Amino acid sequence: MERGTVIRTCGLTKHFNTARRKILAVDNLNIEVPQGSIYGFLGPNGSGKTTTIGMLLGLIRPSAGSIELFGQDMGRESPKLLERTSSVLENSPMYPYLSGRDNLEVFARMRGAVDHSKIDEVLDIVGLAKRAGSPSRTYSLGMRQRLSIALALLSDPELVILDEPTNGLDPSGIIDIRDIIRQLGEQGKTIFLSSHLLHEVEQVCDYVAVLNRGRVIAQGPVEELLHRGDRLEMKVNDINAASLALKDVSWISTIETDDEYLYITADEAKHPDINEMLVRSGIKVFEMKKSSNSLEDFFLGAIEEEHQEAGNA
């Protein structure tokens, strides 16, 4: 069965008019979130993540562009579509004097009938079953964040939107959230996860859009972006002689070395030529492999490029 697209935005744009200036918070955003994916929305602070999420949830009115959720236009169908969606935003509401379980009951009652087995189920998913009876004000920040996720799961949403859910958490709290997200992904839910942390996206997401200053500068499967590298890792008998032999080659962009390896960036189609040149210079090549430049390099590189472009424009 072909996977559908759960979120599609087309030219989505938002500017805020402040007294001093017009801020372009989201600039012509086109993203497609595949059904069942864990989709990372990665960008530094101020890049437009929360504003985008606000528009996806119908809380912020777009200045231009359109949003489809579950293949239907948000404009006309928003209440019906948002019923299939839940979100965890900053400062999710909860009653501090009520226990975790009672908070869930209150929210369940607001939505209609209280399904106790559903409450047990969501407490279980977020690992709060044991502490469900304690007032939520006694919870750690991580536990409160997990309770917020439990609240979001009550309605059994197909799409869960999480805005920087690990902000401010300690390492173990971060691991808990990451595990919950993975678990939800395994259940087939579509997860839209905003983050400014590369390794977080690298670890849990299968798709990513990289956002900078309101614009998507790259998107696609994390695997593909990870292995986009045209960087070559080579083990040779004489690293110095090898870098000398290659140093004036015009189509090689960078040559780096460490104690063990020679790292070369050049168009992938040229990789065999590098080998040939080294062999012709009498250098023995023991190993030659494409090095997977991490999403981190990619992310930082992409942002740098964007800055340079902006500077040259």
Ligand X SMILES: Nc1ncnc2c1ncn2[C@@H]1O[C@H](COP(=O)(O)OP(=O)(O)O)[C@@H](O)[C@H]1O
Q: Which residues bind ligand X (CB under 6 A)?
A: 16, 18, 23, 25, 43, 45-51
Q: Least distance (Å) from ligand X to the CB of residue 145?
A: 17
Residue 166 CA to residue 173 CA, distance in Å, equals 8
Given Mg ion, ligand X, none, residue 18, with its beta carbon under 5 to 8 Å by kind, binds ligand X
How many CB atoms sit inside 10 A of residue 130's CB? Answer: 8
Nearest residue to Mg ion by CB is 50
Query: Which one, 17 or 312, has the nearer CB to ligand X?
Result: 17
The contact set with Mg ion (CB under 5 A) reads 49-50
Measuring CA to CA, which residue among 194, 217, 93, 113 is closest to residue 155? 113
Given Mg ion, ligand X, none, residue 47, with its beta carbon under 5 to 8 Å by kind, binds ligand X
CA distances from 198 to 7, 42, 80, 179 (A): 22, 7, 34, 17
Q: Least distance (Å) from ligand X to the CB of residue 71?
A: 26
Query: Which one, 18 or 254, has the nearer CB to ligand X?
Result: 18
Cβ contacts of residue 290 below 8 Å, gap of 6+? Answer: 227, 229, 230, 231, 232, 233, 268, 271
Kind and range of the H or E element at 210?
Answer: strand 207-212
CA distances from 22 to 15, 18, 202, 250 (A): 7, 6, 34, 44
Query: Which one, 50 or 293, has the nearer CB to ligand X?
Result: 50
Given Mg ion, ligand X, none, residue 250, with its beta carbon under 5 to 8 Å by kind, binds none
Q: Least distance (Å) from ligand X to the CB of residue 54?
A: 8
Q: Least distance (Å) from Mg ion to the CB of residue 24?
A: 16
